[in-house]
Structure 1
Amino acid sequence: MPQIRPPRTSGEGGAVTDCVRPGSTAYLDAVLDPGSFRAWTTPAAPPVGADAGYRAELIRARADAGTDESVVTGEGSAGGERLAVVCSEFGFLAGSVGTVAAARIVTAVERATAARLPLLLAPASGGTRMQEGTAAFLAMIEIADRVAAHRRAGLPVVVHLRHPTTGGAFASWGSLGSLTFAEPGALVGFLGPRVYRELHGAPFPPGVQTGEHLHERGLVDAVLTADELAPVLRRILALIRSGPSSAPPGPASVRSAERRGLPRDRTPDAWTSITATRRTDRPGVRALLAAVEDTVELRGTGAGETAAATVLCLARFGASACVLAGQDRSAGRAPGPADLRVVRRAAALARELRLPLVTVIDTAGAELSPAAEEGGLAGEIARCLAELADLPVPVVSVLLGQGGGGAALALLPADRVLAARNAWLTPLPPEGASAIVHGTAERAAEVVADQRVRSADLAAHGVVDRIVEECPDAADEPDAFAARVAAALAEELPLAAATGGTRRLGRRRRD
């Protein structure tokens, strides 16, 4: 397939470019396993009511692009995993979507859903085709409905926003991914710059409608070329296919895991534990992820927010893949409302992909600021508690270090709870609790001694199922400690998956 230089635009985004871009065939060759793509052929007759001028445009577009319409659909494989593909051909009237192209997209998504195939959507489009007016505009509804139905069926949708993606393409199938990526330098936006310039008499502010900017704002998970997407797509499909381990451990393994809650006298006094978890060199969630080979990091809430204090990713521990949301001590920031919305995105993704959820707790406390109050911090804590307590997939929580206040509690509802030996959980940071009880922060050590905050106390109370040892302090053996936590998760995820639904939800709700 030759490279295409589009002569003009036909979409409402008005995206115009002078660059030479690869066509759909070259794109699919870069992303999919060699020779694996098989096109799904559907009729591409001119739309009803097309006049002679428009028919002539369509004939020229076919000659220019080498395709019969602005979208190519079919199936292929990535890393040997089957998937369905809908890919724009920008050389065909700037990839604009008319009624025929829309019907092709709808048919492909329905076919993918029926075959239970993951779906890759790769738009590069000026938007809705202006020659067809309202009929093409209304087709966005059906496209969005079918993509949403595919996700509701527990099937992943991976979107790769190519240069350019504007207008109705971005506002329908380009914005409904379970995971969303963008090409480097891609123009991505609802209102195309040409239309903005004509309406306002000035250019659109530079740098806003780019894949990189959307990544910074938490709307795009990563910025990747087609070549860079290929290995990431293979990892995503392999992780989702494996899901939770299909071989729950037998009674001997269960008993072994239960015995990991060692006697209380193995745990240091509360203040010693709290001091240990406050060491700046203590390993956190990123050290844990470095101890496993298979991860795909995601970014943001998907709704225009990022969260520096929370990591979101797909990961595999042993034989079990999962969605992981973890508080990141290395960020040097307290989790705020956006961090908790990232946790809620993780829960929704786990529900949708039918993967277990792992939450990692490691915070001295939530962000305490006017912005956090205005951003709905208390409401986000409440919604996290409610959604995790009712999540229909296995949930495992890891109390990795500090467990201060509502920001820690929000990640705790789980079927199985692990705790590092020095980990702790308190309603408030110790100094805050001391200020309430004694009118001074100076008696924090005394207060936490009475509050039974240590891992052993939590195990005795039935909150913690398993204690992961520190020998004697995680900060002194970071790699070995992270490997022990990863190994514990590899055992605990099948245990959580083996628990029946009613019993599972009852445990989380403390019934």
Structure 2
Amino acid sequence: MTRVQRIPAADVIAAVTDPDSFTPWSPADLGVAPQTSDSDDYSRELDAARKKSGRDESVQAGKATVEGNEVVLLIGDFDFLAGSAGRSACQLLIAAMKRAIDESLPVFASPTSGGTRMQEGTPAFVLMADVAHAVTRVRTAGLMFVVWLRHPTTGGVMATWGSLGTVTFGQPQALAGFLGPRVFEVLEGEPFPEGVQQTDNLANRGVIDGVVPLVDLRRVVSRLVDVTSRRVDDSAIAEAPLGNEPRTHGLPDASDPEGVAEPAWQNVLATRRLERPGARELMASALTQAVTLSGTGEGKRSAAISVKIGRWSGRSVVVVAQDRAAQAGGQLIDPAALQTARRGLRIAAELGLPLVTIIDTPGAELSVDAEESGLAGQIARCLAELTDLPVPTISVLLGMGCGGAAIALLPADLVIAADNSWVSPLPLEGASVIRYRTADRAPEMADQQRITAALMAADGIVDIVVPESKATQGGDPARYSTLVADVGETVARSVAALAEEGRAERLQRRHIRYGGGMG
């Protein structure tokens, strides 16, 4: 097994922050008394730890700038009694987080620890609850809490501020887990399986968002801090090519050869083409300073849903997107995918950022596992949460929109649809079997069910239709590029327009729209 290096606190601070910008907060600055003990042995250990580390405690707190944005830092120090969490360390964390709230500053936290300090026992152990509550208060205040787990992070530290970040990354191959492997082996009589308590594995399992080497950490942290600290990048908006207003319409216009109504089945065939651009291409074109989140944060992960925090033409957003390429590769929308989507919804609400959902799916996974894992319930919760989400919401129908997987991300303040996009209750072949006992009449079902963007606009389901040239039905790459650009620009204008509305007015309109007469 590769030996993983412990990264000193000073190296983390130097790598992430602007030069000479870090101002440490001593225990006295935060009103925290230094740890003392009646035990001569523990007092000697504390003195030795202070000499070895040059610090007062196992946590270093302070304030710095990252690319000019102020950030509160909470950095664990393994040189101080293995980074263990005693009463003074916990109180330092809590006081520093309170100051972050008072000053409305995001937090970057990098723990490394063996867990609760055994010399202090239960009085230190129960402070886990207080530390967890402090992190919750930071996030409830709408502040970003970024975590980077260092080697090693275990025990009560992993089970509090190490696991409660808005976004969590880890040092590659770092040990991270609840019970340290040495203690596990003593208690269980056998070694812990190799690689399980490793950040790379946790990322693959959807426990953390990924592994980031120290050399790349500043870039990731600066993006997250900047996107949430400066909600609008005026320079990016000014540089964005506005061009002409993208044409939008409801019903097809017979006077426009591009707008003549065609059989709905042509839309279905057009969106099923493998070369048609999807969410990846749209986000690559429109989204900057993006950071990708992975999984639910609770041990589930699906490539079918992508969640990103970034800027859409200069405005900070959270994007929850169905990945057509992943679905084409066999990773369909399952309960884990929708739980990942719901995490994106929660983060958007927590940070007060507009939400953009991108719908492009051939349908949800149909399997015993999906049923037993609560697929229907996850669809229901997505719908319930979207209709009541406090932030501006935009959904984009980019291509296929089959069944519950599609409608799960549909409710929004504004619904934008590419001209060839469609939404149907079931795969149309399945609907044909239900009606006619054969799949051959799927094209008829497409017409009967009013699935097209134009007809959904006429029915009040879609607000804006972004035209496509008929050439996109034949797979013209140049026309695809135009489609991606037009959809991206329409979303950008819509985000800007919704930002001008008051929250109460916007929510009232959404509640009326999806209230079914209840308002």
Give 1:400-439 correspondences, 5 Å limit. 400-439=398-437
- For 1:257 and 1:417, the matched residues in 2 are separated by 15
Contact 2:49 2:80 in 1 (8 A): yes
1:185 aligned residue: 173
Identify the residue that residue 28 of structure 1 maps to in structure 2: 13
- How far the C-alpha of 1:201 sits from its partner, in A, is 2.0
Equivalent in 286, 300, 307 of residue 305 of structure 1: 300
Q: Name the structure 1 match of 2:118.
A: 130
Q: Does 2:93 align with 1:105?
A: yes
Q: CA 1:356/1:505 → structure 2, altered by over 3 Å: closer, same or farther?
A: farther
In the alignment, the residues of structure 2 paired with residue 291 and residue 22 of structure 1 have an alpha-carbon distance, to the nearest angstrom, of: 36
TM-score, L = length of structure 2: 0.90
Unpaired stretches in structure 1, ≥5 consecutive residues: 1-16
Q: 1:496 to 1:46 in 2, by over 3 A?
A: closer
Identical-pair percentage: 45
Instruction: Tell me, in whole angstroms, the C-alpha distance in 1 between the residues paired with 2:179 and 2:6.
Output: 21
Give the SS at the match of 1:467: strand
1:504 aligned to 2:510? yes
Per the alignment, residue 283 of structure 1 pairs with 277
Residue 143 of structure 1 corresponds to 131
Instruction: Evaluate the alpha carbon distance shift between residue 144 and residue 194 of structure 1 in structure 2; reply closer, same or farther with a 3 A threshold.
Output: same
RMSD: 2.2
Residues 436-471 of structure 1, C-alpha deviations (whole Å, 9 max, x = no match):
111111100011111111110011111111112223
Deviation at 1:227, TM superposition (A): 2.2
Contact preservation (8 Å) 1:317, 1:487: no
Amino acid at match of 2:90: A
User: Any idea what SS the aligned residue of 2:389 has?
Assistant: coil
Cα distance in 1, alignment partners of residues 386 and 182 from structure 2: 45
The residue that corresponds to 2:490 in the other structure is 488
Which deviates more, 77-86 or 479-488?
479-488
- 1:328-477 superposed matches below 5 A: 328-331=323-326, 332=328, 333-471=331-469, 472-473=471-472, 475-477=475-477
Alignment of 1:245-324 (within 5 A): 259-261=248-250, 263=252, 265=254, 266=259, 267-292=261-286, 293-324=288-319
The superposition leaves residues 5-56 of structure 1 with CA deviations (integer Å, 9 ceiling, x where unpaired) of xxxxxxxxxxxx9865332112100111111111111147553543111111
Which string of whole-angstrom CA distances, capped at 9 and with x for unpartnered residues, describes residues 260-319 of structure 1? 446355153200000000001111100111103331111001110001211111132123
For residues 323 and 41 of structure 2, what CA distance do their matches in structure 1 show?
59
Q: Is the 8 A contact 1:87 1:122 kept in 2?
A: yes
What is the distance in 1 between the residues matched to 2:461 and 2:406? 13
Shift of 1:503: 2.0
Kept after mapping to 1: 8 A contact 2:4/2:151: no
Q: Tell me, what secondary structure is at the counterpart of 2:126?
A: helix
Give how far 1:334 is off: 2.0
Give 1:238's aligned residue. Answer: 226
| Residues 180 and 107 (structure 1), Cα distance of their counterparts in 2 relative to 1, 3 Å cut | same
Q: TM-score, normalised by structure 1?
A: 0.92
Q: Does 1:224 align with 2:209?
A: no
Residues 222-265 of structure 1 show CA distances to partners (whole Å, capped at 9, x for unaligned) of 2002221101111111211233689x9xxxx9x96795446355
Using the alignment, how far apart are the partners of 2:171 and 2:514 within structure 1? Answer: 41
Q: Separation in 1 of the partners of 2:217 and 2:228?
A: 16
- Decide whether aligned partners of structure 1 residues 153 and 262 sit closer, same or farther in structure 2, where only a CA change above 3 A counts: same
Change (3 A) 1:55 1:403: same
Q: Secondary structure at the match of 2:64?
A: strand
Q: Report the count of equivalent residues.
A: 490
2-structure distance, mates of 1:243, 1:84: 19
For 1:407 and 1:148, locate their aligned partners in 2 and report how far apart those are by CA, in whole Å: 31
> Structure 2: 5+ residue runs without aligned partners?
none
For residue 402 of structure 1, give the secondary structure of its aligned residue in structure 2: strand
Which shows bigger deviation, 342-351 or 462-471? 462-471
